[in-house]
Amino acid sequence: MNTLIGSYECKVDAKGRLMLPAALKKQLSPVLQNGFVLKRAVFQPCLELYPMSEWELLMQKVNKLNRFKKKNNDFIRRFTAGVKMVEVDATGRLLIPKDLIAFSGISKEIVVSSAIHIIEIWDKDKYEQAIDDAALDFADLAEEVMGQDDDDNGIS
């Protein structure tokens, strides 16, 4: 699957349905028929939407963990807590289950943001706060993560 691009402001209706933005739906068209996995994010109060192929790749890594180690078993349980299979309906809507709405604090206004091969779904206020909080140390983070002198890949 290609890298997903874009952040979009959307609304969720009273039943928890999200209309996927047309530009994002177009990018996802090759994988729409396979369905998605929706889960709680690990580090942020948002949701992560995995195309089924991406979820299966991730599960291959998770399945290699030794379940007879308590730490691994605890990780698997917490990582998969609240995981739901979801589909985009014929009109382009995705139903967000109520427990995941509660976890993420999603209200009516949301942001749907690409994160390489997955999509993050945020309450709009929480997304803006996370971006504002990260702005202060983003330059240092960018240097640490991407500014490796020994790697000559042409990224600047």
Q: So where are the chain's domains? A: 7-146
The confidence score (pLDDT) of residue 137 equals: 78
From residue 107, alpha-carbon distances to 42, 69, 81 in Å are 20, 38, 21
Q: What is the pTM of this model?
A: 0.87
3-state secondary structure the chain: CCCCCCEEEEEECCCCEEECCHHHHHHHCCCHHHCEEEEECCCCCCEEEEEHHHHHHHHHHHCCCCCCCHHHHHHHHHHCCCCEEECECCCCEEECCHHHHHHHCCCCEEEEEEECCEEEEEEHHHHHHHHHHHHCCHHHHHHHHHCCCCCCCCCC
The confidence score (pLDDT) of residue 140 equals: 82
The confidence score (pLDDT) of residue 41 equals: 96
Task: For domain 7-146, give its CATH number from 3.40.1550.20, 3.60.21.10, 3.40.1800.10, 3.40.50.800.
Answer: 3.40.1550.20
The confidence score (pLDDT) of residue 144 equals: 85
The confidence score (pLDDT) of residue 139 equals: 78
The confidence score (pLDDT) of residue 34 equals: 94
Mean pLDDT per segment of 10 residues, for the chain of length 156 residues? 88 95 92 95 95 96 95 94 93 95 95 95 95 78 79 54
